[in-house]
Amino acid sequence: MTEKIDVTKQYKKKIKELKLHNKLYFGQDSPKISDLEYDKLKIEIINLEKKYPFLIKTGSINKIIGSEPSTKFKKIKHLSPMLSLSNAFEKNDMEDFLKKSKKFS
């Protein structure tokens, strides 16, 4: 039972950290960690969810999408859709992105 409690605490701490970095990056345009460090944090959370499925009830990373955008930015209309790599951590993720992007070429 202590392992479950320890894992839950670790998970919640990582989720809280991710939310902070989302706010700094998206809301304040002032990131405090590199993209690589952010991705590593996100992968750690995803791996915890895979290993301990009970954590998903606690606040899954899949429900955390960025943060409120800063009001400093103006909205613009792009000539072509702005595509995102999303969570491209593996080769097949990148291949999927390339297939999707070719549809807009």
Give the global pTM: 0.65
H-helix or E-strand spanning residue 6: helix 2-22
Residue 87 above 70 pLDDT?
no
Q: Is 70 left (phi over 0), alpha (psi -120 to 50) or beta?
A: beta
Question: Which of the residue ranges 2-6, 8-12, 94-98 would you say has the lowest mean pLDDT?
Answer: 94-98
Where do the domains of the chain lie?
2-102
Residue 100 vs residues 39, 65, 85, 86: alpha-carbon distances, Å: 22, 21, 10, 12
